[in-house]
Chain A
Amino acid sequence: MTTLPEHLDRRFRDEAASAGLLDVAYDFTDSPIGTLLVAASERGVCRISFDPEPERELDALATAFGVRVLRAPGPVEIVRRELDEYFEGARREFDLQVDLTPLPGFQRAVLEELVRVPYGHVDTYGGLAQRIGKPRAARAVGGALNRNPIPIVVPCHRIVGATGSLVGYAGGLERKEALLGLEGALLT
């Protein structure tokens, strides 16, 4: 069986991306909290996923953004770099566009507000509910955060329970603790 040489594989992936033919480009990146899958549409970062299962991720991305999903390092290079800097403690804010277009309105409102919680600070589920003008929706806010497609960059780790307990995190509480620890925000 003829095998495609690696440089040709790489060349196709680069050309596909730079010709603007992809709905989503993605790649994997190493981080102190494990391998991350990072994906971007033409609008911005659209997915960061812990413990990625590539086949499932592919299907989910294709359903949300379109079937032209391809592993292509070029378009996500900037995201990888900013994540590296963040994990090295050299970056406190991400200069990245995010693409939340496939999400329902309520979840989008929650995540857009969440981005305003600064590095090293925490807020509560109730606090966030209040800030989007739905003070009684703390529980629904929790649900919206739990399904956050772009963790770290959209910092759902900065939301904790009213008593300061970590409560929950889709990527696992250890990761939430690690991220807050990195930012120097860990509550005791």
Chain B
Amino acid sequence: MMDDVRTPPFERFYEQHKDAVFGLLAARLGRQRAEDAFQDTFLRALRAYPDLRHAGNLRAWVLTIAERVAIDAHRRERPTAELQEPESWDSRPPHAELEHLAAQLPQTERAAVVLRYGYDLDYEQIGAALGSSAEAARQAASTGVRRLRGRKP
């Protein structure tokens, strides 16, 4: 990460990460429920922001908050939860949680989902990493997410 160690003004932080946060939440909760979760995530981040001791990896920090918010949302709506919830994932970074969650997907889909939503790479980058096109990466991630959503709790 290229973040300055000094905490940047919140506006800059928010602009840099808002799309990634919404993308993660939409993938985890669906677009509808992602709306409230998005507000919740950035309000939590805003409350904690002045006390941040270092700004080395703000993307990981805010995606972790988003994951916790998504987990809370699932807990509240347990019977209709779309995704399974590993017991120990509160303390793990988003990519590790996604790797766990996506473990049973076919390899390419799994890699595309984790790279897309765990590491926030764009499809160009994912395509390059998988040795395929951006379009193929997009399809793999989208099929993977649909497959995860279809899984029964």
Contact = CB atoms under 8 A, between A and B. Distances in A.
Contacts of B122: 1
A71 interface: yes
9 contacts: A1-B122, A8-B38, A12-B42, A16-B43, A62-B9, A67-B8, A67-B49, A68-B49, A70-B14
A71 B15 CA distance: 10
Main secondary structure of the interface of A (DSSP, over half): mixed
Main secondary structure of the interface of B (DSSP, over half): helix
A61 B22 contact: no
Given A16-B46, A21-B43, A67-B50, A1 B23 contact: yes
Contacts of B9: 58-59, 61-62, 67, 69
Interface string B96-118: 00000000000000000000000
Given A1-B122, A12-B18, A12-B38, 8 more contacts: A1-B123, A4-B38, A8-B35, A58-B9, A59-B9, A67-B8, A68-B50, A70-B11
Contacts of A2: 19, 22-23, 26
A28 to B, nearest CB: 13
